[in-house]
Amino acid sequence: MALPPKQTPGQAPSRPPAGAPPHGAPPRPPAPKAAPPADNGPEPEKLSPSELDDATHAEFRLLYDAAARNVLFAKRQQWRVVEYFTLLGLALVAIGTAMPFAADVARFVAGFLVFVGFVSVMVIAMLQSWQANEHAKMAYLVGDFSNLARSALRRKPKLSGDIHRYFMLLVMLLYVVVLDVVIFRLLGDIGQ
């Protein structure tokens, strides 16, 4: 409900806008809401609960939650490997720039970095394999959940999730390899 505007002394009273109730009259009631249109689409899916007994269902939920946490942990570890490799490479370049290495020391440090890069790539690949095993475990466990839970989990196609996961894996691996090559070359130039 709109309040009437304030009037100053000597000002003529203002008129309410057209269609507004006069001052002091109760506001008119809101228009009745129209019924929602009938949806001729498919009927909502009816719940068919899990056929597992309560103890087994609780175990499945526990295993599913543990698998989901393992996937998140493995993905965090992959990013930490990338972060630590980056920090190590930058630290070696900073040390080599501040106090130039002798040629044989620069070759040793570059070789060490290549070894650490190889180990980093292997650890990232191992963690990706672990994630794939956990995803397979989750897919097995969800087969005995209710039809609505299975339907909700199928909203994102498996192919789409796989493409995203392996694209990120490729980005991580390429980053480690390219950074390794660049720092190897920088350390070679510092040692000359």
Determine the pLDDT at residue 188. Answer: 79
Residue at 32 is within a domain: no
Which ranges of the chain have pLDDT less than 70? 1-45, 47, 191-192
Backbone phi, psi, residue 28, to 5°: -75, 150
131, burial (CB in 10 Å: exposed 0-12, middle 13-18, buried 19+) = buried
What's the one-letter identity of residue 165?
R
Determine the pLDDT at residue 179. Answer: 93
Does residue 108 contact residue 190 with C-beta atoms inside 8 Å?
no
What's the one-letter identity of residue 180?
D
Q: What does the alpha-carbon distance between residue 159 and residue 167 come to, in Å, rounded to a whole number?
A: 12
Residue at 42 is within a domain: no
Q: How many CB atoms lie within 10 A of CB 76?
A: 11
Per this entry, what is the length of the chain?
192
The total number of structural domains in the chain stands at 1
Determine the pLDDT at residue 37. Answer: 59
29 contacts: CB under 8 Å, gap ≥ 6: none
Q: What does the alpha-carbon distance between residue 139 and residue 133 come to, in Å, rounded to a whole number?
A: 10
Determine the pLDDT at residue 44. Answer: 65
Determine the pLDDT at residue 190. Answer: 74
| Joined tokens for residue 31 | 């228009």
Determine the pLDDT at residue 52. Answer: 77
pTM summary value: 0.68
Q: What does the alpha-carbon distance between residue 131 and residue 154 come to, in Å, rounded to a whole number?
A: 18
Residue at 84 is within a domain: yes
Residue at 142 is within a domain: yes
Residue at 92 is within a domain: yes
64 contacts: CB under 8 Å, gap ≥ 6: 138, 141, 142
- Domain limits at 156? 54-190
Residue at 116 is within a domain: yes
Residue at 27 is within a domain: no
Residue at 88 is within a domain: yes
